[in-house]
């Protein structure tokens, strides 16, 4: 059974990840620098780069660099794209369960990542007469 745990640097927010270049949205300088740093961190921790397929469960424990207000949903894009670019998982579309938890402040920031196979733990039900 696959179970990976590793730590990545604090990613740029989605607001700083993309840039408009000649009418197209491209990954900006901060995004490219982060991708390189994340790939280096994955290599330094000897994380297997086997291109794991899905379905996957990914848990992120986000340790922000300071006490400023931050939206946790802004850090997922750069981080998950970098995990794919490093070859750890095939595609982030294979993630069926994504959880993000805010941890305590860590100077410089970091994100602990856990990747494992997805197994349905939630039984969603709808009330009679309502749409899913």
| Angle, helices 29-44/76-85, rounded to nearest 10 degrees | 60
Given this model, what pLDDT does residue 113 score?
A: 97
Residues 25 and 31: their CA atoms lie apart, in Å, by 12
Q: Going by C-beta distance under 8 Å and a sequence separation of 6 or more, which residues neighbour residue 9?
A: 34, 37, 38, 41, 108, 109, 110, 111
Tens of pLDDT along the chain (132 residues) come to 789 999 999 998 776 667 777 888 777 888 889 999 999 999 999 998 888 887 999 999 999 999 999 888 888 989 999 999 999 999 999 999 999 999 999 999 999 999 999 987 666 665 555 555
Residues 113 and 51: their CA atoms lie apart, in Å, by 16
Domains of the chain, by residue range, sit at 4-117
Architecture field, domain 4-117? 2-Layer Sandwich (3.30)
Given this model, what pLDDT does residue 79 score?
A: 93
Given this model, what pLDDT does residue 122 score?
A: 64
Residues 62 and 54: their CA atoms lie apart, in Å, by 23
């Amino acid at each position: 059974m696959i179970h990976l745990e590793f730590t990545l640097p604090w990613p740029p927010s989605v607001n700083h990840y993309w840039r408009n270049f000649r009418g197209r949205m491209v990954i900006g300088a901060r995004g490219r620098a982060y991708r390189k740093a994340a790939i280096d961190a994955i290599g330094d921790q000897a994380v297997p780069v086997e291109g794991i397929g899905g379905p996957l469960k990914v848990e992120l424990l986000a340790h922000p660099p300071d006490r400023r207000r931050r939206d946790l949903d802004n850090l997922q894009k750069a981080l998950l794209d970098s995990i794919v670019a490093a070859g750890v998982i095939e595609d982030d579309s294979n993630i069926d369960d994504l959880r993000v938890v805010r941890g305590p402040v860590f100077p410089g920031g970091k994100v602990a990542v856990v990747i494992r196979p997805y197994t349905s733990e939630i039984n969603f039900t709808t009330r009679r007469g309502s749409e899913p």
